[in-house]
Amino acid sequence: MRSADLTRYALAAAARGWHVFPLTPGDKRPLRGFTEWERHATTDPNIIRRTWTHAPFNIGIACGPSRLVVLDLDTPKKEGLRPPPPWDLPGVNDGADVLAVLCERTGHPFPTLETFHVRTRRGGQHLYYAAPDGMKLRNTEGDKGNGLGWLIDTRASGGYVVGPGSFVDLPDGTGTYEVIYNAPPAPLPPWLSKQLVAPPRTVAKPVRLALPDDRRGAFLRAAITGELERLAAAPVGQRNRTLYLAATALGQLVAGGALDQAEVTNLLEQGGVDIGLSASETRLTIASGLKNGARRPRTVAA
């Protein structure tokens, strides 16, 4: 799609009060240099025109500042993929089917489809709803077991979606995000709001490691405690990066022989899960950070 067309889509989203930012052309990732994409997201038409004239950037919509909650009802990434229990039932083939089963089990009606509705590149659906006032809702990923169900993701505060008009060409699917029902976002049903309430902010737990009771031990304990406190205080949108930086810093001490890798990994895994990151995302980020830190070992004098 041409830059001019994508500019129109970005301006249309901004006219609704939705904060947009550029994604890599043909991709779902924020454009390089937009790691703090939520802070950069804008509704300013002049900034949007200047940005999208440079290239046919895809469109990211930051859900938090846009006061949106988006249900992403996906389709299986592989043909014939069976749903996991408890969703392995006759007629359950995708995220929309799972949501229907969830509604039946909880005794609630299916969320209204009379809301802003987008068909995604692989035939899934994005259902846009207005976020409730006074509630901070979390992002979830159905495939990682922390969401509403299989193939249902949600994007709210600290999350973003690929906006309509964007064209994505990736190994798991190619296509355009198309508006199929153009209406104002309906209010998110209260029963879904309750299921998506973000967990309370966590406080870093005291570090309990077998460290020597001397100057060296005090330094190492302070180093670990400082990283865990920074992780616990990380704002939404910066949690994964904060975890990576903590793993890198402590990975230097592990590589230098000052700390035990298994103990550091356990502490960081607990810290990542406590702030709302998925277990799998936490493990991958920690492994990457420890590997990066190992390139610059750091020793601590006795």
Amino acid 143: pLDDT: 67
Query: Do 32 and 148 share a domain, yes or no?
Result: yes
Identify whether 202 is part of a domain.
no
Identify whether 203 is part of a domain.
no
Number of domain units in the chain: 2
Query: Do 224 and 168 share a domain, yes or no?
Result: no
Asked if omega into 86 is within 30° of 0 (cis), the reply is yes
Angle at 188 between CA 166 and CA 165, to 5 degrees: 10
Query: Do 167 and 231 share a domain, yes or no?
Result: no
> What are the tokens at 197?
């309430």
Query: Do 223 and 142 share a domain, yes or no?
Result: no
Cα dihedral: 226, 227, 232, 236 (round 10):
130
Query: Do 243 and 144 share a domain, yes or no?
Result: no
Where does a domain end: 195, 229, 262? Answer: 195
Identify whether 210 is part of a domain.
no
Position of tokens 């964007």? 166
pLDDT: is 299 or 45 the higher one? Answer: 45
Query: Do 124 and 252 share a domain, yes or no?
Result: no
Angle at 85 between CA 140 and CA 277, to 5 degrees: 25
Amino acid 202: pLDDT: 53
Identify whether 63 is part of a domain.
yes
Print the domain residue range for 182: 3-195
Confidence of residue 199 (pLDDT cuts 50, 70, 90): low
| Identity of the amino acid at 267 | L
| Burial of residue 47 (number of CB atoms within 10 Å: 0-12, 13-18, 19+) | middle
Overall average pLDDT of the 206-224 stretch: 75
Query: Do 98 and 242 share a domain, yes or no?
Result: no
Query: Do 135 and 284 share a domain, yes or no?
Result: no
Whether the pTM exceeds 0.75: the reply is no
Where does a domain end: 149, 167, 195? Answer: 195
Overall average pLDDT of the 1-19 stretch: 95
Identify whether 200 is part of a domain.
no
Query: Do 140 and 261 share a domain, yes or no?
Result: no
At 167-192, the pLDDT tens digits run 999 998 899 999 999 999 999 999 99
**Dihedral over Cα of 257, 260, 262, 268: its sign:** negative
pLDDT over threshold 90, residue 64: yes
Query: Do 70 and 30 share a domain, yes or no?
Result: yes
Query: Do 191 and 227 share a domain, yes or no?
Result: no
Identify whether 301 is part of a domain.
no
Distance CA 266, CA 139 (A): 24
Identify whether 172 is part of a domain.
yes
Give the other-Cβ count within 10 Å of 110's Cβ: 12
